[in-house]
């Protein structure tokens, strides 16, 4: 059986042992985040032929399961890998939609260029998502704040230990039902200041969404968790301790005059799809948004003086999360008793409303999958 989506034909080999309705219901009753996976995966292969010509081929839906890799596969030795993250939302009428997938497709290719991986035509990216969600549509949860998290990724699969770009690559999409990223009731989180570690350096891969950036952040994240914090803040220690981003989220500041400030993209900060959406939603509300350098000193002084009235983080997984306290062994900025700010919540409700279909999508950001 074949399906055609966005001009690309995907063959289908459906699982002979999918989860039962009862097993699926048990998972959806408490999905957590990234703990369970649907029955299928989308796959597209890339290979360079003897003449040096590369091409994508063999687009397919197959049962979810382990990937067979040669021990010398390039991804295992040189980290040639990129990924994306987006969600599928079930609307009130039962239909399923995703949010700005074209932006994710474009960012995947930006990351691919930086990691010397082949660019993936948008029709393959969109087709893989559509076909996978259609195959596993019963896995899309409908609870408040829940969605089907989609993880597209690309890995270098060529068996070769020479240091060069791989000539065989696999693009895949897996899906995981997801609840609230930080769990339970939405309330301001505590953030740990990383004084010793950097997430990325100038000229490095900070603007790409690749596994190495996240691996480099994990030791700082462990330090944060050991000190009762949910996330870690990375600074540019060679640029007046300029604020960069959290371990996996962008940062916004709400100023006393109602305007928003967020760190300017400098090559070391990931351009989040949620970030760009927050900027547009805030502008739609009549708020001025400035992208510029903002330092730890300005954060500290702004909170103390009242110039900064709210701080929040944003990303695909958690959407928008208010920040209550920023701290390290010597610093304590903010309040553990802080409530989620009005502006933070207004932007969050507007953005979630667009994603879930309760607010009009005036920008054409939604794409129907089922």
- The domain limits of the chain are 11-180, 189-356
Q: For residue 1, what are its two tokens?
A: 């059986």
For the chain, give the number of residues. Answer: 370
The answer to whether the beta carbons of residues 228 and 190 sit under 8 Å apart is yes
> What tens-digit pLDDT sequence spans the chain (370 residues)?
454 555 789 999 999 999 999 999 999 999 999 999 999 999 999 999 999 999 999 999 999 999 999 999 999 999 999 999 999 999 999 999 999 999 999 999 999 999 999 999 999 999 999 999 999 999 999 998 899 999 999 999 999 999 999 999 999 999 999 997 766 567 899 999 999 999 888 899 999 999 999 999 999 999 999 999 999 999 999 999 999 999 889 999 999 999 999 999 989 999 999 999 999 999 999 999 999 999 999 999 999 999 999 999 999 988 999 999 999 999 999 988 889 999 999 999 999 999 999 999 999 999 999 9
The answer to whether the beta carbons of residues 318 and 249 sit under 8 Å apart is yes
Query: Could you tell me the fold of the domain covering 189-356?
Result: D-amino Acid Aminotransferase; Chain A, domain 2 (3.20.10)
Burial (Cβ within 10 Å: 0-12, 13-18, ≥19) of residue 123: middle
Query: Could you tell me the fold of the domain covering 11-180?
Result: D-amino Acid Aminotransferase; Chain A, domain 1 (3.30.470)
Q: For residue 292, what are its two tokens?
A: 């510029």
The total of other beta-carbon atoms located within 10 Å of residue 350's CB is 18
Do the domains at 11-180 and 189-356 have one common CATH topology?
no
pTM reported for the whole predicted model: 0.95
- DSSP letters, 83-117, are E--EEEEE-TTS-EEEE-HHHHHHHHHHHHHHTT-
The answer to whether the beta carbons of residues 156 and 166 sit under 8 Å apart is yes
């Amino acid at each position: 059986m074949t399906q055609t989506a966005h001009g690309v034909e995907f063959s289908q080999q459906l699982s002979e042992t999918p989860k039962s309705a009862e097993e699926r219901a048990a998972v959806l009753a408490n999905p957590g985040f990234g703990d369970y996976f649907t029955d299928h995966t989308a796959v597209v292969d890339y290979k360079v032929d003897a003449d040096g010509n590369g091409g994508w081929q063999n687009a397919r839906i197959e049962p979810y399961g382990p990937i067979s890799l040669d021990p010398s596969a390039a991804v295992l030795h040189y980290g040639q890998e990129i990924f994306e993250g987006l969600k599928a939302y079930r609307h009130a009428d039962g239909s399923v939609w995703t949010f700005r997938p074209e932006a994710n497709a474009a960012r995947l290719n930006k990351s691919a260029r930086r990691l010397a991986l082949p660019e993936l035509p948008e029709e393959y990216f969109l087709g893989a998502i559509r076909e996978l969600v259609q195959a596993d549509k019963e896995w899309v949860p409908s609870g408040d704040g829940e969605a089907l998290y989609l993880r597209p990724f690309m890995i270098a699969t060529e068996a070769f230990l020479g240091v060069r770009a791989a000539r065989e690559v696999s693009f895949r999409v897996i899906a995981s039902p997801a609840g609230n990223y930080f769990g339970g009731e939405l309330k301001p989180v505590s953030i740990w200041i990383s004084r010793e570690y950097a997430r990325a350096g100038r000229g490095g891969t900070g603007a790409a969404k690749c596994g190495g950036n996240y691996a480099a952040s994990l030791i700082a994240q462990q330090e944060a968790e050991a000190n009762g914090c949910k996330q870690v803040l990375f600074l540019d220690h060679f640029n007046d301790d300029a604020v960069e981003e959290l371990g996996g989220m962008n940062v916004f500041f709400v100023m006393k005059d109602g305007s928003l400030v967020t760190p300017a993209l400098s090559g070391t900060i990931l351009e989040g799809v949620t970030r760009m959406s927050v900027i547009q939603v805030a502008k739609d509300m009549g708020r001025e948004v400035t992208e510029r350098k903002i330092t730890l000193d300005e954060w500290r002084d702004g909170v103390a003086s009242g110039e900064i009235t709210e701080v929040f983080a944003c990303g695909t997984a958690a959407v928008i999360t208010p920040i209550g306290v920023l701290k390290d062994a010597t610093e304590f900025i903010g309040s553990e008793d802080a409530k989620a700010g009005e502006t933070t919540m207004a932007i969050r409700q507007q953005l979630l409303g667009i994603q879930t279909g309760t607010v009009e999508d005036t920008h054409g950001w939604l794409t129907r999958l089922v």
